[in-house]
Homo-oligomer: A and B are copies of this chain.
């Protein structure tokens, strides 16, 4: 079965955030859709292994920031490839406490605040049904689509995303994959071979060092 067909489904780029006591958590998601139009409700999908999933089940309240087309790779990487368990993702970014939630305003065209009214267990993921309680516009900018991120910005799906697919290895070229974010450095497409990159070179996607790269066979 050709699973690449599933890449033809269209998505946006969102950051979902919540707060338990003083711990602010959040992660990147691409799956969000409106379910009802009267008294609107939206559905999002979150991997069960995600720390944000665990916390959201307790707090039952979240903010969803819709990223604009000029959103930075740093912001996407921070929320997409790291865990709020280990990293304070809100350091050095523009956010605001609204309704006791840390709402990301950086690179955000608009945000939605809502209450989780139901969690549906679907194998590796949960669907959260969220009743919309508050909305606001932030930047006058078109929303970024997931396709734009992949095709124009050459971004990769985080491993826990519903849309993650393992890359097929091309055995002819020397290629090195970042073990954190999945970014692939392909010697045949670069001016400098990976081995010759300086020691302080960092992953253009998530910022970790060369030592986190694994040579693909």
Residues of chain A touching chain B, judged by Cβ–Cβ distance below 8 Å, are 1-3, 5-6, 8-13, 31-43, 45, 66, 109-112, 120, 122-125, 127, 129, 132-137, 142-143, 145-147, 161-165
Contact = CB atoms under 8 A, between A and B. Distances in A.
B41 A135 contact: no
Given A6-B42, A36-B124, A41-B122, 6 more contacts: A5-B135, A5-B136, A9-B33, A10-B146, A33-B33, A37-B164
A36 B129 CA distance: 17
Contact of A37 (B38, B120, B136, B161): B161
15 contacts: A2-B135, A2-B136, A5-B136, A6-B135, A8-B109, A9-B34, A10-B12, A31-B34, A31-B35, A34-B163, A35-B125, A35-B127, A35-B162, A36-B125, A122-B129
A143 B8 contact: yes
